[in-house]
Structure 1
Amino acid sequence: MSRPSGRAVLANLRRGSTLAHFGRSFLTGLGLIAGICGLGTGLFPDLAEEFGTPVLAASLAIALGYGAWTAWPRLSFDRSFELPATRVSVVVGDLFSQDGHLVVGMSDTFDTELPVLIHPGSVQGQFLTREFAGDTARLDAEIASALASRTIVASERREDKPLGKLDRYPMGTVVVLGSERRRYYGVAYSRMRNDYVCESSVSHLWNALMDLWSAVRNTAHLGTVSITTVGLGLARLSGRITQADMVRLIIITYLTSSRESVVASHLRIVLAPGTAAQVDLRRLGDFLRAQ
């Protein structure tokens, strides 16, 4: 896993929830120390009078240290479940540096061409360059093979869509690429318009994720699966769902599907450092622990 930058830590340190947590922890620690010191004063009044100032200074230092330690933003959260028997992690890092299988968001046309149809900096753009060494022909061949038995729901005319692929597949269609050692799950969560703009909705994301977990269950052999917050920015969803809500949606759909039958041994949700700076990591950790 790549080492994340301090951007996420600094952003979360500035959040009101972090300061509030620090204040509560500081007062809790100080109250506990005060209770212990009060008991000591009653039992050893002479020692309390002689060492009162150093003890007070030490008490404040310990309370401050405890408050800072508990409030310091963490860059990973993890919870293991007994029913269903699985584990869910939220980490800050690089999706393509993770071990195991990867999820990549795609459109209903499964277009792959850079840079007009697919933004080079998007997850799918990085997928092509980093996992397929920029070999678009090889990626297209694997996708075509995976789609061979799938139903085409519509086909565009070349004059309406001058670039890219013409056939459209149902939202939520999943192509399983790669090998047993490292699967790539390309899930259609957005619609590629004929002006090459992708769009989606929260309901499309929910249904696509549920279809994704079904495909993972059938082919991942209970391995580790990593996913990032698909569906924002380029899919025109940033005004309707936040990054934090996207993480919650991934967790909820995964656990819902897992309670029918275990999907994977470990789901890892990977937030890029820039993304992590936009969310309250502590609240995401609290949400995961509450499930």
Structure 2
Amino acid sequence: MAHIRVSVLGPAKLEVDGAPVHLTPLSTRLLVRLVAADGEPVPVRSLRREVWGLNAELPGQAQRDRNEVQKRVLELRRALDPERTGEGARVITTDQLPTARGSETTYQLVLRPSELDSAEFTELVNGALHAAPATAARAFADALAMLRGRPLAEVAEEPFAAGLIRRLDELRDAAREGLIRAQTDLGRPDLALPVAERMVRERPDDPRAVAGLAALRALLRERHGGELLRHRVPGTGTDVVLVRGDLFDQADANLVVGFTDTFDTATEQDVVISRESVQAQLVERVFGGQRRAFDERLRVGLRAFTPVGTESARDKPRGRRTRYPIGTTVVLPVDGRRIFAVAYSRLGNDLVARADPAELRLGLERLWPTVARYGLFKPVAVPLIGSGLARVVELDRAQLVNLVIGTFAAYCGHDPAVARELRIVIHPDELAAIDLAPVEACLRSLDGAGREGRDGAGREGAARGAG
């Protein structure tokens, strides 16, 4: 039995056993006319008028017309059944219709739903309308993917096709609306947005479509909040996201806070550490201003690391004197999440913090393995590290962001499960000073093929940021 596929959801085409079958324009129009009958028999008189465009009845014309229609039907049956198995007669049946002028031959197209794309489309949409959201989303998407253009394109302006075309258009709109609803119910309004936008492009005067798009955009704005950019790291389940906001408002995320190599926290008179620094805000906003309790936890965490030196009281009369390697990362559990205190700058004996791009890179490269090990695969939020009192003056803000992204992506090449999301938090006061175009370019550079490609892209993006 041949596998037949008639497609009319766009320019008509016929396939038999997966191979396209060429039809003459007249045979194509005949096939589409039979499809437009929607399973009903069509008299020869109607076919002669609607396919051939013949209305006049001259002496002997009726017989000639019957012969011409019969010839084209035979041609179509042979196209449907090249192996002459009898499928052609099964697909296009012949019957006699009693009329006042005698019996009239009729032809009827009999196709299974799997053999006619418009029938399969109808079944998919109707089934999806009563399905649960995940099942409905898949079915609606599959149905809409079948549309290749205007249904019954060859006879789209003919009155005999108007009913079926109208029904298919209504099903298309129902599928689009259903897909938008299902994706929204599943928490994926971003996947619904292109569907809503297309509906409005095609029906700009439809108030329902316009209102639906506006509601969807409002939902996305609310959902994304201060989100500026988002990009999936290839080969991982991790997104890199830039958001406008405050680091300490990221309640669902682990936090990265940069320290100097002495891990100073004293803010008295703004001599050692500024009260405006991220470190000072960490003590105040996360640890309730209990600096001594925080210092004790920090001191316990630092026991696991070997100092690289100790300053004398004469050389460094204020602040702590024990120095730790750049990249030293102390993990501080707080309310089910983690604070990663990482040393990426050096505090001079003059109490001025300084870091160069190489030290910042080293600190970040040593940070990510600790995040992967202790971060519980939670989102990790990072401030615009190096832009403030650390004085990484060689890099602008976009280059600093790219350095964070590049080192993170490079480590993901070794361990794809570092964190569910890298969230780079840019304070609103800093947003105007950062050009996001180089950051977008760095994110696009991550789209390499394979793990090795990702490593190279990440290092290249970071190198551009540090250049």
Provide TM-score, normalisation by structure 1: 0.71
Matched, 1:228 2:383: yes
- Aligned equivalent of 1:171: 326
SS in 2 for 1:189: strand
Aligned match for 2:246, one of 94, 99, 113: 94
Q: Report how far residue 284 of structure 1 moved.
A: 2.4
CA distance in 2, matches of 1:81, 1:232: 24
CA distance in 1, matches of 2:261, 2:326: 6
SS in 2 for 1:141: helix
CA distance in 2, matches of 1:91, 1:289: 18
Matched, 1:188 2:343: yes
- Aligned equivalent of 2:406: 252
Amino acid at match of 1:111: D
CA distance in 2, matches of 1:154, 1:82: 41
Deviations 1:119-163 (A, max 9, x none): 111211211111112211011111111111210110011122122
CA distance in 1, matches of 2:351, 2:288: 23
Amino acid at match of 2:391: R
SS in 1 for 2:266: coil
- Aligned equivalent of 2:373: 218
The change in CA–CA distance for 1:204 and 1:192 in structure 2 (over 3 A counts) is same
- Aligned equivalent of 1:109: 262
- Aligned equivalent of 1:18: none
Q: Report how far residue 286 of structure 1 moved.
A: 4.1
Deviations 1:188-241 (A, max 9, x none): 000011111001110001110010001101100211100011122312222x00
Listed as ranges, the matches of 1:38-53 within 5 Å are none
Amino acid at match of 1:247: V
Aligned match for 1:79, one of 231, 237, 259: 231
Whether contact under 8 Å (1:180, 1:220) holds in the other structure is no
Amino acid at match of 1:105: G
Deviations 1:44-97 (A, max 9, x none): xxxxxxxxxxxxxx9xxxxxxxxxxxxxxx851111234133111011111100
CA distance in 2, matches of 1:286, 1:201: 23
Larger radius of gyration between Structure 1 and Structure 2: 2
- Aligned equivalent of 2:352: 197
Aligned match for 1:128, one of 283, 294, 302: 283
The change in CA–CA distance for 1:154 and 1:189 in structure 2 (over 3 A counts) is same
Matched, 1:160 2:315: yes
CA distance in 1, matches of 2:235, 2:439: 21
Matched, 1:150 2:305: yes
Whether contact under 8 Å (2:233, 2:409) holds in the other structure is no
Whether contact under 8 Å (2:355, 2:391) holds in the other structure is yes
Provide TM-score, normalisation by structure 2: 0.45
Moved over 4 A (4+): none
CA distance in 1, matches of 2:389, 2:405: 22
- Aligned equivalent of 2:104: none
CA distance in 2, matches of 1:135, 1:175: 18
Deviations 1:80-117 (A, max 9, x none): 23413311101111110012100000000000000221
CA distance in 2, matches of 1:212, 1:180: 21
- Aligned equivalent of 1:15: none
- Aligned equivalent of 1:39: none
Q: Report how far residue 270 of structure 1 moved.
A: 0.5
Amino acid at match of 2:239: R
| Number of residue equivalences | 219
Q: Report how far residue 179 of structure 1 moved.
A: 3.5
Deviations 1:234-278 (A, max 9, x none): 12222x000100000000000000110021111100001121110
SS in 1 for 2:389: helix
The structure, 1 or 2, with the larger RCO (C-alpha pairs under 8 Å, 6+ apart) is 1
SS in 1 for 2:265: coil
SS in 1 for 2:305: coil
Matched, 1:284 2:436: no
CA distance in 2, matches of 1:286, 1:122: 30
- Percent identity over the alignment? 38
Amino acid at match of 1:217: A
The change in CA–CA distance for 1:171 and 1:283 in structure 2 (over 3 A counts) is closer
